[in-house]
A and B are shown apart, each in its own frame.
Chain A
Amino acid sequence: MDTNHIVLIANRGEIAVRIAQACHRLGIGFACVYTEEDAASGHLQVARELGGALFRVSSYHDANEILSVADQAGATAVHPGYGFFAEDFRFARRVTTRDRKMIFIGPSWQVIQALGDKINTKRLARSLGVPTVPGSDRPIYDEQEAEKIARSLYEFQLQQGVAHPLVLVKASAGGGGMGIEEVYDIDQFRSVYRSIRNYALRQFKDEGVLIEQRICEFNHLEVQIVADRTGKNPVHFGTRNCSIQSTGRQKRLEVAPGFAPADIKYDFDAAALLDTITSHSLKLAQKVGYDNVGTWEWIVTRDGSPFLMEVNTRIQVENGVSAKIARLNGKPGVDLISEQIRLGLGEPLGYTQSDVSLEGFGIEYRIIAEDPANHFSPWVGRIERFSWEPQPWLSMHTHVPAALDGTPYDIPTEFDPNLALAIVWGADLAEAKARGHAFLDSLVLEGHDKDGSPLQSNVAFLKDRTDGILRFA
């Protein structure tokens, strides 16, 4: 491939470190940005070691800063990482259509826009026969129509044997959990509908609502898709199970693959289900001409019904756990971030689905300074020691200098207090779990806040949850 590329890494922390490393491995140049607040982050150190240029910017959130630096650095491509600009179709559009055009390492902006709209995604899925959550697939503006849908949803659930049917009313223009309410008594529907409609009108100037079945007791599964710029031949890199989350629905522990039919008994044919959701995901990817890495999010009910929730048009935090179990032509060492960059820069995929195989189990732990007992509230202070025993089955990704060279690190208050991602691998589920325990036991993580109180972390929480992975709670 053309190694004259320079990638501007528009991100920080762990993902910036991994992108820098991937660029280095691919033999292409890169440049990093940082803010004054974040000057102690390990991604600066890695950038210096690997010969990447560094630029101080006023904010990671300011696209103007990113592009101004990109021009100055002579960048030919921008990698958004995750968060920040990763799913911002306007940013992607600007990068690729401005006078000095660059490559946006991610799907084309049209794809991001199409799949960024949940209603559009749902309708695309339904047009292909991909299962989605029962309910409306367009904004409803009429009260009578809304109630009719809600009533049939209610009866539909009763017929399905749901003892206490629930209906969700949500503002179609909303997102992030705002403007959603549950209806448990169908006679209350009208009042809930009106309150959401009025909220939506005030907040989003659009009184459309969606009415959907509220699905309880499910596992959260993901399908990892990889495609090249032709958008014609996507492949999948298996599934992940991301059901273990904080109270605020933030993922804490991810496992690949998504179920373990050999080790755990399910109420349904789990192997077949994994095939179903991967093939559905590929079908949709093909339909939209998906042209980079992405994740199809599914929920799977206890009785084995899958529903496509949304598509994340970016590399995800937990990409490493899929890479860990993936074998390309039988060989381990897959790096999805390198793949993303390589394909993003226009290289052809070079393999087909039959070249991809999966082996063993991977567990990813997100190590975070927080107090799981107290609504996972973040802990702020100084990290003094951070170490672990290196193992051939273990990968660690961190930007915390305490782990890199022992320098104490004050956690910046601007961002989530994520410290590291740890990925362990085992040939079978039992070995993976045992190694997970072994790793967490070997972990040294110490620090103090300004009052001298010791660091709080979610390590005990992760250990506690390791035993129950891939099961329905």
Chain B
Amino acid sequence: MLDITRLLEDIKASPHEEIVIRAPHTGVVAFESCRPGDMVSGVSGEWKERPGTLLATLTRERNPKPVTAMQSGELRELHTELEGKFVEAGTPLAVVRHFLSREEVISMLLKHALHLFTAPERAKYYFTPAVDIKIKTGGSRSVTVHHGMELLIMSRMKRETPVYYTGPGGIIYTVYFKHNQNVDAGAPLLGVCPESQLAVVEELVLRVQTEWKERA
């Protein structure tokens, strides 16, 4: 049985996540007015339609693009020494110390409670078209999976191979991979909640909802 109390205590001991914000591509960087120590906000709004705090602008081919904080927290580092310089793709620009939100804590704990279906190979993954349509209309939790079901498409080396789900049947509780991003072999792709576990998961969610105090 899952020891929710102990898991929660562990997270409470280190409730932060350090998020490194990197240049998404090459370009010349210009920083905005915020400075280390400032609080920044992340993406917000009911439909995630409001972008986070503007940290810098990255200009490539005369196209200035905003670099914003994705999560809220305290701005720990800002590489202002790069001001006005050309940076390579992936260059760290800032570090945000993010206090874990309820949702994030739940998702961390769920990794213990759900059946994790992991990536067989390092590759990019997509849902099969039929499942994809279901998810786009009804959300992932509208999809029930069962052992042997053709669920995903694995794309690597320009080849696409079907991936069959293995494990207990249940609903897709969480999706861990993102469109067009490589997933390492062994990393979780999906968290599946078997029927029998539903009560445990609900309890877990409830516990976090009541016990986890969010901070800005």
Contact = CB atoms under 8 A, between A and B. Distances in A.
Are any A and B Cβ atoms less than 8 Å apart in their complex? yes
A65 interface: yes
B26 A416 contact: no
Contact of A413 (B63, B89, B182): B182
A266 interface: no
Interface string A393-426: 0000000000000000000011111000000000
B158 interface: yes
B185 A450 contact: yes
Contact of B24 (A58, A378, A414, A450): A58
A68 B156 contact: no
B159 A58 contact: no
B61 A57 contact: no
Interface string A53-93: 00111100010110111001000000000000000000000
B147 interface: no
A245 interface: no
A425 B208 CA distance: 71
A329 interface: no
Contacts of A67: 61
A206 to B, nearest CB: 23
B157 A65 contact: no
A37 B90 CA distance: 11
Contacts of A414: 156-157, 182
Contacts of B60: 64-65, 68
Interface residues of B, number: 20
Contacts of A377: 159
Contacts of A55: 26, 88
B157 A57 contact: no
Given A67-B61, A416-B157, A450-B185, A380 B121 contact: yes
Nearest to B63: A64
A62 B25 CA distance: 10
B123 A413 contact: yes
Contacts of A68: 25-27, 60-61
A36 B181 CA distance: 13
Contacts of A37: 182
Contacts, number: 60
B71 to A, nearest CB: 21
A72 B26 CA distance: 10
Interface in A6-49: 35-37
A413 B184 CA distance: 10
B90 A36 contact: yes
Nearest to B124: A413
Interface string B23-39: 01111000000000000
Interface size class of A (residues with CB under 8 A): 20 to 34
A252 B200 CA distance: 55
B134 interface: no
Interface string A219-232: 00000000000000
B185 A58 contact: no
Task: Identify which of A35, A64, A413, A416 gathers the most chain B CB atoms within 10 Å of its CB.
Answer: A413
Given A37-B182, A67-B61, A58 B25 contact: yes
Given A36-B89, A57-B89, A64-B61, A69 B26 contact: yes
Contact of A415 (B24, B63, B157, B182): B157
Contacts of B123: 413
Interface string A426-455: 000000000000000000000000100000
Contacts of B79: none
Interface string B166-210: 000000000000000010010000000000000000000000000
Interface in A204-236: none
Contact of A417 (B61, B157, B185): B157
A35 B88 CA distance: 10
A72 B24 CA distance: 17
Contacts of A56: 26, 88-90
Contacts of A69: 26
Nearest to A379: B157
B86 interface: yes
Nearest to B157: A378
Contacts of B86: 72
Contacts of B88: 55-57
B122 A413 contact: yes
For A35, A67, A380, the residue with the greatest tally of chain B CB atoms inside 10 Å of its CB is A380
A131 to B, nearest CB: 33
B25 A64 contact: yes
A318 B183 CA distance: 33
Interface in B107-138: 121-123
Nearest to A380: B121
A176 to B, nearest CB: 11
A382 to B, nearest CB: 12
Contacts of B159: 377-378
Given A55-B26, A65-B25, A414-B157, 6 more contacts: A36-B90, A57-B26, A64-B60, A65-B26, A378-B157, A450-B185
Interface of B: 24-27, 60-61, 63, 86, 88-90, 121-123, 156-159, 182, 185
6 contacts: A57-B25, A58-B90, A64-B61, A64-B63, A68-B27, A380-B121
Interface of A: 35-37, 55-58, 62, 64-65, 67-69, 72, 377-378, 380, 413-417, 450
